[in-house]
Structure 1
Amino acid sequence: MRVSSRVWHRAPGAVPHVGPRRRGTVWLMVAAALMVPAGSAAAITRLQQSAARQAEVRVSLAELEIAAWRQNSLRSRAMLAKGMPAALARSRDEVDRAVDAIGADFERRDPGERHTRAVQDAFRAYDTAVDREFDLLTAGDLLAAERVAEYQADPTFRALLTTLDAASGHYARLERQSSGQARIGTVLILSLAACIITALVGQAHRIRGRALRRATHQATHDALTGLPNRVWLQDGLAAASGDATGAALVLIDLDRFKEVNDTLGHQYGDQLLIEVARRMRDTLRDGETVVRLGGDEFAVLLPGVTCADDVAAVATRLHEALREPFELGGLSLSVTGSIGAALYPQHGTTPDQLLQRADIAMYTAKARRTGYTIFDHSQDSTDPRRLTLAGDLRRGIDQGQLLLYYQPKVDARTGAVLGAEALVRWRHPEYGLIPPDDFIPLAEHTGLIGPLTRFVLAEALRQARAWRDAGHELGVAVNVSAHGLLDLALPVEIAALLEHCGVPARLLTVEITETAIMTDPERALRVVRELHTLGVRLSIDDFGTGYSSLAYLKNLPVQELKIDRSFVSGMTTSDRDAVIVRSTVDLGHNLGLRVVAEGVEDDATWRQLDAAGCDALQGYHISRPVAADEFGTWLAGWDRTAAAGPVTAA
């Protein structure tokens, strides 16, 4: 574990270099200084040195803030990666070394001063929390890392930014005060040689002004690309937030940029970043500013933009700009980007809020492979109740708080029960019965989706065995998320569960979505084929609502299509929905697949589906999802109803 209280040492190159052309001016100033009383000249020199020192301290503060934002960006990447792979560990070492150097230089400039100590204390508190978070991620304890991020790293980061802002304002005031006193003293003391001294002082101010402008530019611009940096963006966001016309913030993170660095080296990576920056800058219009936040992260500030459609248009332009390959050193490189956006004041009223929520939207776009997403409050996982649920979920799995409900599937023509879909619920000791939409996203975010999927599979297969022992040859269907579909160990685990429960593979149906397939088609196809080899049935769930997977459907060894409820529920009142349903049934049959319709809410829908040739039905008109002990009772009652005559799903 790293020691957070760093031993800061001086970074070289903090004082601007004085070139040969200015040496003559410097010697003239020395000669002029000899003309006045030594004590007065010394006082003026001290004031000028003090002003220069305050300016240098402000530059160090800006550099320290940039380092803090780099650490914060690294935290986001590590949390997204759910650990600390080698590349992130190397980045962490680089950031730590930069922090050491910048911190030592800052401490040297004004040791012991109150604001210096406050900045040091704030940074060490943040650094300690970050080290703790990184250590937990390295150890694979994602849940504990999230708690440290929420309750320690995030609050100390915000406190650090506030402290840096206060210190910068303090040193700016001191600089103005020292500069003013130096100017007044110079005029009074050198009044006997006003013409000469005025010229010399003017030249000195111009030299110092140019040095300060260079230092300010360096502090607010990225050295590699020349773009404004995160410090500039903070000021720009503050100005935009005060504009009554509103503003938008767009964050862009390059996808698979790490592969360029790892495969071709940092020289190619740096050149690619320069070209990406140039292309985005050329794409934007007047008033739109692109910023490099660090690494492969960029931002675009859009003052006066308040409409989501206008932001989407900018995102489209940026995607188009990145679409064309980049020619570097004889190589043609293609990159894409994940884009997230937030609007002022709808999604935040402060710079920190806009940055945080645009960042959440960007990582949502990256996780869902949608390319672009605008912030929605449902994406925010900082709600205290959601955090509590995330902490309780692991215990809920281990302590048997999760249970399965079963919704039957019946034959559309005869009404015979074919099986049931297993749907997980969580009986929380404090919050009661929690639906899956409230905790499955948390499971995916915290890395618990694997244990949750294994629990559902094991319970569903045990229930299928119990039905079989009772004389009911019923299949059971289990939904598998995109994360599960990309898990190469899933077929092996399912094979072991089938053998342990003594259930034939044909009685298990794994339901997957089009979106899950398109997340990584090659990897998904490998897992699907291995499941097919086991004899497990495969079903495309919610067909028609995700990405177009027709190109992959012909190559997937699936046996079933499920028509999404959004089409089924409207087919009796909408001719378009009815056409979609009939076309999907025909498509499935032409491919040799069974077709299941979910969301059957009334007898009229049932009869239309039967007339269209649909094979199986599922929905509230047949039965709501029921607990395992209630399913047997429902099954006995349904058998009596079905045996009495023509099916009229009562």
Structure 2
Amino acid sequence: MPEWGSSVKRWYRISRVAWFGMVVTIIAIAVGALLASASTRRLTTVVAESTALVSAYTRTDEAVVAERSLERQYRLNPDPSVRRDYERQKENVLVALDDIERIGTAEDRALVKKVRFAHSYYDSAIQRLFDAVDTGSPSLAYSIESNEVGPAFDELDELLDTGAERHVAAAERAVENLYRVEGTVTVAAWVGSAFGMALAFTFGLLLARYQRELVRQAADSRHHATHDPLTGLPNRTLFTDRLGETLAGGLRDGTELTILRFDLDRFKEVNDVLGHHHGDLLLRQVAARLCEALRASDTVARLSGDEFAVLLAGTGAEAGHRQAERLLRELHRSFTLDTVTVDVEVSVGMAVAPLHADRVDDLMRCADLALFQAKDAKTGVVVYDPDMVVDQPNRLVLLGDLRRAMEQPDELVLHYQPKVGLRNDRLCGVEALVRWRHPVRGVVSPAEFIPVAESTGLINRLTAHVLAMAVAQARTWLDEGLEVPIAVNLSPRCLLDPDLLGRVRELLVEHGVPARALRLEVTETAVMANPALALRTLNGLHDLGVRLSIDDYGTGYSSMAYLRRLPVDELKVDRSFVTNMSTSDHDAVLVRSAVDLGHNLGLTVVAEGVETAGQVEALRDLGCDIAQGFHYARPMPPAELAGWLRDGGRDPRVPAPVRMSGAR
């Protein structure tokens, strides 16, 4: 009994020790778990808050960049919608700054105060630049851009980058501490298992798994803050960081680097016509092609919308240009989006360091200017040239002068060229052609200012101005007893203008001119660019009673199905075929086929560029209805044309008289 009692006491003491040891172990593990959990929670909160602040700084920076882009766009296209877009981006800046103040530290709030002050100055300068553009002062606008807007933008970009980089660094430190905490927790779990505690072992494994999930989530948060969610490519923030690192290394080692800025031309049409789903598919495929065509050491980023950037480390101007051309060929291959095949045009701006700039902001600005020039000239790849800074204001000066000319009574005038019936030598109408008498430069050729206007929204305003002058002139001739149908050319952009139909209707009603006295001419290319929208616009004009013509037939591309459906009355054969029809069998056959096609479709056929009596006889033999060209008369002012009409179309430059038709 004493031995049993002593044995019981011994096992009792051992059990007590074991129990105490197990309890101590569990308590130690529990305390360690609680401390690790608290530390993890605190670090995860730091990562989440830093990520949110990086996102807010990035949104602010993107909105500021968008404001700059809209300011440049307004200089080329002073459309009210651009200013409305600018105001929305300004509101985005203020909302993002409010978010930073709400969740940021005292240091962030101090920085936001500086940003608000700098942005207020930035906005004030842009508003004054807008006013300068509106008042036709391009030199003042350029001065404000160079001396105020640019420096203010640089200051804002530097302040926002400072804030974002501070929180990126804070998130990285927190992630590193999370990894250290994970290691400590794992070791504690294995120590607990060494004591044979299955419960502690299981608890430790679960805790380690939970810890790894938290670390993964923190790493994912940081990835999302520096990468584009749609394509998975680096975003503007990460691209700028890598560019800065590569540029610093290149300047230190004496090596070059090239950056390429890509922009998809008319990407908005993909979204508008096919939907945003197909637009997203296109952007993903563009990103994939760029990545597949580049080295692992190169960086591809999506900066915003349909704009991408490529960083080519250790690459000079010549090799960079070859690479840009190769990437352009890759992107010009057709894209298959579900069941739809799409072809896109791409503009590329290229800049090289240190050849063009040795600072990140300056290099990005050089590439941006080159991209702007590429989009404007539609030439594919454009390498930055310092002269671009000079050329751009000259173009802006021309646009500003043209806007001012439309507000003057005598700078923009219309000359009218007769259209004569080949069967009876009677006047069938005239074509209105705009002429610009610049007060300083003299007569400015339409070949110089029309393309500039067509590259911006100004062409719609210019067309509206020409329509107003033409309809007013038709009213004047009606008052003089002459009913002369006037034809006005429509730019491709005008067919996309939803206000065109209403504007034409208002002009006809305002001047009391019958719709049959107005004829609108459109090209094949303009119609086929967006057949559905063109058909709706043309049907509306036709229902109004306005006559419609297909201009420059044979120089574009046509779909017979659409041509048959278009509510046109007239087909005009391009002058290049008429001029050569007597010397080129191919052109003669084309003119004959155009005449036959027009008649089969019930259309009147007009030959442009008729300059000789031989051409007149040949066109009569082919059955052409109407001729227009120097053989009958050159374009002339209204007063001269009225006299020409009263003289029966007699002109010292024209051997045959023309009788009036439709005079009252």
Deviation at 1:75, TM superposition (A): 5.5
Q: 1:567 to 1:92 in 2, by over 3 A?
A: farther
Q: Mapping of 1:86-485 within 5 angstroms?
A: 92-101=90-99, 108-109=106-107, 122-130=118-126, 143=134, 150-152=142-144, 156=148, 158-160=150-152, 162-163=154-155, 221-222=227-228, 225-233=231-239, 248-252=260-264, 254-255=267-268, 277-284=283-290, 285-287=292-294, 290-294=300-304, 296-301=305-310, 303=312, 304-306=319-321, 310=326, 312-317=328-333, 319-321=334-336, 323-324=337-338, 339-343=346-350, 350-359=363-372, 361-362=374-375, 383-401=392-410, 402-412=412-422, 415-440=425-450, 449=459, 452-467=462-477, 473-485=483-495
Deviation at 1:477, TM superposition (A): 1.1
Aligned residue number for residue 639 of structure 1? 650
Q: 1:221·1:229 contact (CA, 8 Å) conserved in 2?
A: yes
Q: 1:585 to 1:381 in 2, by over 3 A?
A: farther
Deviation at 1:422, TM superposition (A): 0.7
Aligned residue number for residue 513 of structure 1? 523
Q: 2:129·2:141 contact (CA, 8 Å) conserved in 1?
A: yes
Deviation at 1:153, TM superposition (A): 5.6
Q: 1:600·1:617 contact (CA, 8 Å) conserved in 2?
A: yes
Which one of 59, 64, 69 corresponds to residue 65 of structure 2?
Answer: 69
Q: 1:154 to 1:299 in 2, by over 3 A?
A: farther
Is the partner of 1:83 in helix, strand or coil?
Answer: helix
Deviation at 1:554, TM superposition (A): 0.7
Q: 2:595·2:605 contact (CA, 8 Å) conserved in 1?
A: yes
User: Is the deviation greater in 500-509 or in 440-449?
Assistant: 440-449
- What is the letter of the counterpart of residue 639 of structure 1? R
Q: Mapping of 1:13-92 within 5 angstroms?
A: 65-66=61-62, 68-73=64-69, 82-83=80-81, 92=90
Which one of 531, 552, 566 corresponds to residue 541 of structure 2?
Answer: 531
- What is the letter of the counterpart of residue 522 of structure 2? I
Q: 1:543 to 1:244 in 2, by over 3 A?
A: farther
Deviation at 1:122, TM superposition (A): 5.0
Deviation at 1:313, TM superposition (A): 1.8
Counterpart-to-counterpart distance in 1, 2:54 and 2:519: 64
Q: 1:420·1:475 contact (CA, 8 Å) conserved in 2?
A: yes
Deviation at 1:381, TM superposition (A): 11
Q: 1:507 to 1:87 in 2, by over 3 A?
A: closer
- What is the letter of the counterpart of residue 313 of structure 1? R
Counterpart-to-counterpart distance in 1, 2:311 and 2:596: 48
- What is the letter of the counterpart of residue 293 of structure 2? D
- What is the letter of the counterpart of residue 150 of structure 2? R
Counterpart-to-counterpart distance in 2, 1:540 and 1:436: 21
Q: 1:405·1:627 contact (CA, 8 Å) conserved in 2?
A: yes
Deviation at 1:421, TM superposition (A): 0.7
Deviation at 1:591, TM superposition (A): 1.1
Q: 1:302 to 1:416 in 2, by over 3 A?
A: farther
Q: 1:255·1:335 contact (CA, 8 Å) conserved in 2?
A: no
Q: 1:414 to 1:641 in 2, by over 3 A?
A: farther
Deviation at 1:128, TM superposition (A): 3.7
Q: Does 1:590 align with 2:621?
A: no
Deviation at 1:560, TM superposition (A): 0.8
Q: 1:57·1:109 contact (CA, 8 Å) conserved in 2?
A: no
- What is the letter of the counterpart of residue 122 of structure 2? Y
Q: Report the count of equivalent residues.
A: 537
Larger of the two Rg values belongs to structure: 2
Q: 1:59·1:215 contact (CA, 8 Å) conserved in 2?
A: no
Is the partner of 1:620 in helix, strand or coil?
Answer: coil
Counterpart-to-counterpart distance in 2, 1:593 and 1:112: 73
| Alignment root-mean-square deviation, CA | 5.6
- Which runs of 5 or more residues in structure 1 are unaligned? 1-19, 28-55, 175-209, 264-268, 327-333, 366-371
- What is the letter of the counterpart of residue 553 of structure 1? L
TM, length-normalised to structure 1: 0.64
Counterpart-to-counterpart distance in 1, 2:435 and 2:655: 34
Deviation at 1:521, TM superposition (A): 3.2
Q: 2:552·2:572 contact (CA, 8 Å) conserved in 1?
A: yes
- Which runs of 5 or more residues in structure 2 are unaligned? 1-31, 40-51, 167-215, 313-318, 358-362, 659-664
